[in-house]
């Protein structure tokens, strides 16, 4: 094994397109679909140290969370991983962050990147499933864990459900302890362009997220069945056959059924209107609990149309936001 004393990890972001089954009547729950993205990224450098030391690049500013909050989360993750491998300290420098609480998987990528880097520096090389257990990720969706590991378009199979199973009730990853990461049912390279339109919207996380799962689950069985039908018989064949129109039609439909309908319903009216506006010019959906809206584009003209529509919308309502042009990431994290 190579002796890695100092290293850097570049971790991708991800779109979470929706949870498949929050009904649970056949003994399985959750399941998810998602796309790994080239950027934005979480980038972290590190080296051995006798204490836990965390430093930030000067240019890091996040509109939704302070560096102190990020530092606390990384400290807690580092402590858990160091205790697991029997070490005491690490020096970490945060070079770039994924926008926090925006539906782009920042928490999972932060946890896995930090844990993987520490394990490499101390020559332990823990795998993603082990790291997800140590850091408490993957308790609902396996998209973030597998985006980190493999990249691409991913469909995961959720968790066993019922008394004595992986999960006994409906709850998000943040409240699901010691739950195995879900199995990957399908993975395929994703080669279309993506535009992320990120307005300031309602961010759902923490205790608020737990309450939402309790309030709205179980989702009606007929809606779960419709989601499964769309994914299995239209979305998955479409990505294999490079059929963006069929793939995109599923994206648009998924916004108004199942748990995604709940997630969208919790957003501010301005975010809902933005989604409707973008669906007129592209195939668009809300990522996770939002407020990020992703648009699947086929070529430069499509990208330009989405970007111009997003800018016009921001200008019209005088709202703050970011527009990011990106593509699918088909490899997962990189070590430099």
Residue 245 lies in a domain: yes
Q: For the domain that residue 55 is a member of, what is the CATH number?
A: 3.30.230.120
Could you report the per-residue pLDDT of 117-155, keeping only the tens digit for each?
999 999 998 998 899 889 888 667 789 999 999 999 999
Residue 46 lies in a domain: yes
pLDDT score for 2: 43
Residue 1 lies in a domain: no
Place of tokens 């995961």: 156
Whole-angstrom Cα Rg for the chain: 19
Mean pLDDT of 262-288: 95
Percent of the chain with pLDDT over 70: 91
Q: How far apart are CA 254 and CA 119, in angstroms?
A: 38
Q: How many domains does the chain have?
A: 1
Higher pLDDT, 11 or 204: 11
Q: Is 318 exposed, middle or buried (0-12, 13-18, 19+ CB in 10 A)?
A: exposed
Q: How far apart are CA 322 and CA 197, in angstroms?
A: 6
pLDDT score for 58: 82
Q: How far apart are CA 31 and CA 113, in angstroms?
A: 23
> Which one, of 22, 12, 89, lies nearest residue 49 by Cα?
89
The CA dihedral of 120, 31, 250, 266, to the nearest 10 degrees, is -90
Which domain range does residue 254 map to?
6-335
Token duo for residue 192? 């279309």
Which pairs with CB-CB distance under 8 Å and at least 24 residues apart come from 238-241? 239/153, 239/188, 239/190, 240/188
Global model pTM greater than 0.95: no
Could you report the per-residue pLDDT of 308-320, keeping only the tens digit for each?
999 999 999 999 9
| Banded pLDDT at 1 (limits 50, 70, 90) | very low
């Amino acid at each position: 094994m190579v002796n890695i004393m100092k290293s850097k990890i570049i971790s991708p972001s991800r779109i979470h397109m929706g949870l498949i089954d929050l009904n649970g009547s056949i003994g399985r729950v959750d399941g998810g679909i998602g796309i790994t993205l080239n950027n934005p990224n979480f980038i972290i450098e590190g080296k051995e140290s006798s204490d836990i030391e965390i430093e930030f690049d000067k240019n890091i500013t996040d509109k939704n969370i302070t560096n102190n909050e990020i530092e606390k989360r990384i400290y807690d993750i580092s402590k858990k991983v160091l205790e697991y491998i029997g070490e005491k300290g690490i020096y970490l420098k945060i070079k770039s962050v994924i926008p926090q609480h925006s539906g782009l998987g920042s928490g999972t990528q932060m946890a896995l990147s930090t844990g993987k880097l520490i394990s490499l520096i101390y020559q332990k090389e823990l795998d993603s499933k082990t790291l997800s257990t140590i850091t408490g990720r993957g308790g609902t969706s396996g998209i973030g864990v597998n985006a980190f590991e493999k990249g691409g378009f991913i469909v995961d199979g959720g968790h066993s459900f019922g008394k004595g199973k992986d999960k006994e009730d409906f709850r998000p990853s943040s409240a699901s302890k010691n739950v195995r990461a879900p199995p990957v049912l399908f993975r395929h390279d994703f080669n279309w362009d993506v535009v992320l339109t990120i307005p300031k919207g309602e961010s759902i996380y923490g205790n608020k997220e737990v309450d939402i799962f309790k309030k709205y689950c179980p989702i009606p069985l007929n809606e779960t069945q419709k989601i499964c039908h769309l994914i299995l018989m239209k979305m998955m064949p479409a990505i294999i056959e490079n059929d963006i129109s069929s793939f995109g039609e599923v994206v648009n439909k998924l916004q108004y059924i199942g748990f995604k309908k709940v997630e969208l319903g919790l957003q501010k009216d301005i975010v809902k209107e933005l989604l409707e506006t973008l669906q007129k010019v592209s195939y668009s959906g809300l990522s996770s609990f939002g407020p990020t809206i992703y648009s699947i584009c086929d070529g430069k003209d499509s990208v330009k149309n989405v970007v111009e529509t997003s800018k016009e919308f921001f200008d019209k309502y005088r709202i703050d936001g970011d527009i990011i042009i990106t593509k699918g990431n088909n490899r997962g994290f990189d070590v430099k």
